[in-house]
Amino acid sequence: MSSINVWTQWDDLSAPAGITLLSPENFPLDTSDLSQIDFYVPLYMGGAKALSYAAQMPNLKTLQMLYAGYDDALAFKRAGLTICNAPVHAASTAELAVGLAIASRRGFSFFFQNQREGVWESRVFPSLTDSKIGIIGYGSIGKKIAKNLSGFEVSVTAFTQSGRDGSLTIDQLDAHLPELDIIILILPLSDSSRHLFNAKRLAAMKDGALLINVARGPVVETDALIKELNSGRIFAALDVTDPEPLPAGHPLWSAKNLLLVPHVGGNSDAFEPRGRALVESQLQLLAAGAPLEHVVAQG
């Protein structure tokens, strides 16, 4: 059997016979013959540039992403190409979502600012306890968020397009929206989810409610969100924005009632060992001629 050429950022993976590992050390993408690559794992946190190399790989059979979101990879879908995602970020992203919920509800930003200014001021903020929480999207990360929240005294309702796994369908969301204290967005970006939270849905949120976005920035209509935040009526905690990265001077930076982090949901030290293990598992399947896991598109 001829060797299968696999490009990944790690040159020391445990790879089965029949797999040749290529990496930035021995096969720099800008100066090498990309037609040799059969299986491509874009550099983690490499952004659009890392993904764009896939278009220069005419013999590519598998595009293996290192994160759960795959909407940007679908632009490279073509005949003979399998696209896989990776649920290795579930634990870190879910942990961040719950952390944002606690930090936002309990006023951490207010107290951090007072700490910097040397001000001792007590203030009552809403509690996570007894909150009604809606999780929009119920894949591996959504389920992990729900599991993490199970240790708190909250009620959780999940929403999906299909209503799978005991969730409600998204077309039922509007009926529940005015009752939810916290809404956590963790669904893929698609034509149907783009601007899912538009001006109308944002206006339907209850006064004082919190919107958390750990999905994709365009799931929320940015201008409408800024307007609601600056009115002081609702709160938001964003790991993702539209546009992204958020440019200097953008009005989101100065919006009221906002906690903002720079798309770090999955970027923790838990990523690398989980990412390596997933790629190694996929290579074992590849070498054995078995179906790959986590397939999200088949050209």
Catalytic residue among 195, 233, 263, 280: 263
Q: Would you say how long the chain is, in residues?
A: 299
Active-site choice (89, 105, 201, 216): 216
Q: What one-character DSSP code corresponds to residue 85? A: -
Catalytic status, residue 263: yes
> Does 95 qualify as catalytic in the annotation?
no
H helices of the chain, in order, are 47-52, 90-105, 108-117, 140-149, 173-176, 199-204, 222-231, 271-288
Cis peptide leading into 243, omega within 30 of 0?
A: yes
Catalytic residue among 95, 233, 244, 272: 244
Helices 90-105/140-149 angle, 10° precision = 50
How buried is residue 129: exposed, middle or buried, by Cβ count under 10 Å (0-12/13-18/19+)?
A: exposed
Any catalytic annotation for residue 244?
Answer: yes
Task: State the Cα–Cα distance between residues 81 and 169, nearest whole angstrom.
Answer: 31
Active-site residues: which are they?
A: 216, 244, 263
